Copies of this chain bind each other. A is one copy, B any other.
Amino acid sequence: MSKRTYSEAGVDVAKADSFVDRLKHLSLRNGHKKLWPGAGGYASVVPVSEELAVALTTDGVGTKLLLACEQNNLATIGIDLVAMCANDLLCVGAIPHSFLDYYATGKLIEADANALIAGIIEGCDQADMLLIGGETAEMPDLYQRGHFDVAGFAMGMVAKNQLLSGSEISVGDIVIGVASSGIHSNGLSLARKVIDENHPLRKELLTPTVIYVKPMVELLKMRQSNPQLIKGIAHITGGGWRNVLRLNKNVGFAFDTPLPIPSIFDAIREQVELDEMYRTFNMGMGLVIISGEKPDLIIKTLEKAGMHSQVVGRVSEKSDTVSISTGLSGALATISLTA
C-alpha cells in the first residue's frame, strides 16, 4: 500500500517553513533587538516598559474550516481559532488577555456568522480572554459560496522575570504531555483525505481544540515563586512533535511513555507512515511542559481542571532530535524526528 504524506495533500511544510524563516530574517532586520526572546517564536514579545511586555500572535484554523462548512456546523470553529492563539501565548509565559478576529466571506450569512462568533466568545470564555474587536469582510468574488476564512489575533502580558525563553531547559528535565481532544487544528488537509466523507469518524475531525489556558495560568503563577516548576511549554501544532525542538536548540527530547492515542489517529495511521504521523499530528498530546521539579504539582493542577497529563519522557543530550518509543497500532517502534 502506498502511504500518503502531508506534502501530497497539497501542503508543503518544508517550503512554508523556509519561507517563514526567510521572512523572519527580513522582517526582523531592524526590529529583533527590540523584542524579548520568547521560546520557539510561538509569540512575539514586545516590551512596553522595563518590566512588562505584551506577547502578540496570529493564527488560523487551516482547512478545518472546510470541514465546518461541509458539515454545516460552525459552532466550534471559533473555539479552535481562540485555542490556536491562546495556547501559543502560554508558550512564552504570557497570560492571555485580548482577542481580535478577522472573518472574511463571500456573502455574510447571519446564522453562520452568529454561530462562528458564538464559538469565538465561548473560546474567549475558556481562555479568560476579552474579545475586543474584529473585522468582518464581505468579498463576493474571492470566496466560493459558503466558504470563508478566519484569522485570530491575540495579545497576552508577561513580566520580564516571568518570560519563558527556553534557555533554562537542560538535559534530564522532565517532559510532561497534556492530552489533546483529537486532531485539534493541524494536519487537516491530510486527515480529510484519509478520513473521507464516508468514513464513520469524519465528524470527529471537528472536535474543538483544547484550550489549556486556565490551569496553565495557575501553574505560571505558581512558577513565580518556583522557577524550576516550568522551564518550557510547547504547543503541538503544524509540524507535530517536532514543535518541542523549537524550545531549545541545544537539547533533544526522548519520549518513552506516550499518552493514550485517540482512535482518530489509529484510523489515519492505516494510510500514513508512523514518522509522518508524528511529524504532522499531535498524536494525542496537545501541549508539552518541560519541568525541572514538582511534576506532580503540574499533573494535579491539570487534573483538577479536567485535563489528563502524565510524564512522557525526558530532555536528552541528542540535540535537535525527538526520539519516540511507541506502541501505536500494536507495533513497538522507535522513530526519530529532526527539525
Contacts and interface: CB of A to CB of B under 8 A. Distances in A.
A135 B11 CA distance: 14
Given A34-B130, A63-B141, A113-B19, A46 B155 contact: yes
17 contacts: A10-B140, A20-B134, A27-B131, A28-B131, A48-B49, A48-B54, A49-B52, A56-B132, A58-B134, A58-B135, A58-B153, A60-B102, A60-B104, A62-B137, A63-B142, A65-B142, A135-B151
Interface stretch (A93-101, A210-218, A294-302): A93-101
B101 A58 contact: yes
A140 B44 contact: no
Contacts of A138: 10-12, 16, 189
A300 to B, nearest CB: 29
Contacts of A9: 140
A136 B15 CA distance: 11
Nearest to A118: B26
A149 B133 CA distance: 19
Interface string A243-285: 0000000000000000000000000000000000000000000
A20 B19 CA distance: 35
Contacts of A139: 62-63, 65-66, 149, 189
A63 B157 CA distance: 34
- Consensus secondary structure, chain A interface: mixed
A59 interface: yes
B155 A58 contact: no
B149 A104 contact: yes
Interface in A1-54: 9-12, 15-16, 19-20, 23, 26-28, 30-31, 34-35, 41, 43-44, 46, 48-49, 52, 54
Contacts of A189: 138-141
Given A56-B133, A132-B56, A149-B149, A98 B62 contact: no
Number of copies of chain A assembled together: 2
Contacts of A117: 23, 26-27
A334 interface: no
Given A56-B133, A57-B133, A149-B104, A63 B27 contact: no
A307 interface: no
A139 B149 CA distance: 10
Interface of A: 9-12, 15-16, 19-20, 23, 26-28, 30-31, 34-35, 41, 43-44, 46, 48-49, 52, 54, 56-60, 62-63, 65-66, 97-98, 100-102, 104, 107-108, 110, 113, 117, 120-121, 124, 130-142, 144, 147, 149, 151, 153, 155, 157, 189
